[in-house]
Amino acid sequence: MIGAKALSALVVLSFAASGASAETLRIAAASDLKFAMDEIVADFRQDHPDDAIDVIYGSSGNFHTQIQQGAPYDMYFAADIEYPRALVKAGFAASNVRPYATGRIVLWSAQLDASELTLADLPGLDVVKIAIANPAHAPYGKRAEEAMRATQVWDQIQRKLVFGENIAQTAQFVQSGNAQIGVIALSLALSPELAATGSYYLVPEALHEPLEQGFIITKRAASKALAAEFAEYMSSANVRTIMRRYGFVLPGEEQRTSAIESDVVGQ
């Protein structure tokens, strides 16, 4: 029989081994991924109950700068694939860039019927504020500006614009009523919370450059097995199903863009 002291030692060793095998994964993710990534991480955690997975949402441009300054992120999911590509070239990545989706922008409102509007209608609306993400560092804001310039309304509405730090904050401006209408990510407009409180118009993708998105494993996580495992999980059927549900067009499925357009027209 095992003595009490020996048994106690085995328990201690068991806990120590368990603690040693647990890992922490810190993910910097563009805020258009908020709802989709929350679901993805929740599912991933089911097979990794001892690991800590923290996701910080924000602006792709700000994360790009922070990683170069030594921010402790293990993975970086950007809303503009050019940001992680630049980090790879500068030596801040431990992997190649992996494209994971193409995003779309929508005109969204909780006060107006946005489904009956287009960008061309913005100058004639009786609104005080129009929200977009800051084009200086938020890819969705940059695409919003491009689309507004292509529609030739940018100069007419510029005085009414308010800028969110990222696309999630932009959506909050409109949802709270601080702005009456705004351009946000389709992935946020399709979230249960926003879908229940507002309506949207899908901005034609021909009006702006594609929102091609990609991720990397950062240099600091080069030997972190959990990061490599999560990277592979992003290609799983479960993740692809979640991403499609939030309106993302996946690599190799670009034909879905026309289907999304058709679905919106039919609403």
Residue 146 is given by DSSP the state H
Contact 132, 182 (CB under 8 A): yes
Closest CA to 131 of 165, 174, 186, 166: 174
Three-state SS string over 172-219 comes to HHHHHCCCCEEEEEHHHHCCHHHHCCCEEEECCHHHCCCEEEEEEEEH
pLDDT, averaged per 10 consecutive residues of the chain (267 residues), comes to 44 42 92 97 96 96 97 98 98 97 97 97 97 96 98 97 97 97 98 95 97 97 97 97 97 63 45
The tokens for 62 are 């700000």
pLDDT at 14: 41
Residue 49 is given by DSSP the state T
Whether this prediction's pTM lies above 0.85 is answered by yes
21 phi/psi in degrees, rounded to 5: -85, -15
Cβ neighbour number for residue 210 with a 10 Å cutoff: 15
pLDDT at 265: 40
pLDDT at 22: 82
- Can you tell me the distance from the alpha carbon of 1 to that of 228, in angstroms, rounded to the nearest whole number? 43
Three-state SS string over 60-88 comes to HHHHHHHHHCCCCCCEEEECCCHHHHHHH
pLDDT at 252: 84
The tokens for 145 are 């500006």
Contact 224, 25 (CB under 8 A): yes
- Can you tell me the distance from the alpha carbon of 219 to that of 100, in angstroms, rounded to the nearest whole number? 19
Cα angle 181, 124, 166; round to 5:
25
- Can you tell me the distance from the alpha carbon of 24 to that of 80, in angstroms, rounded to the nearest whole number? 26
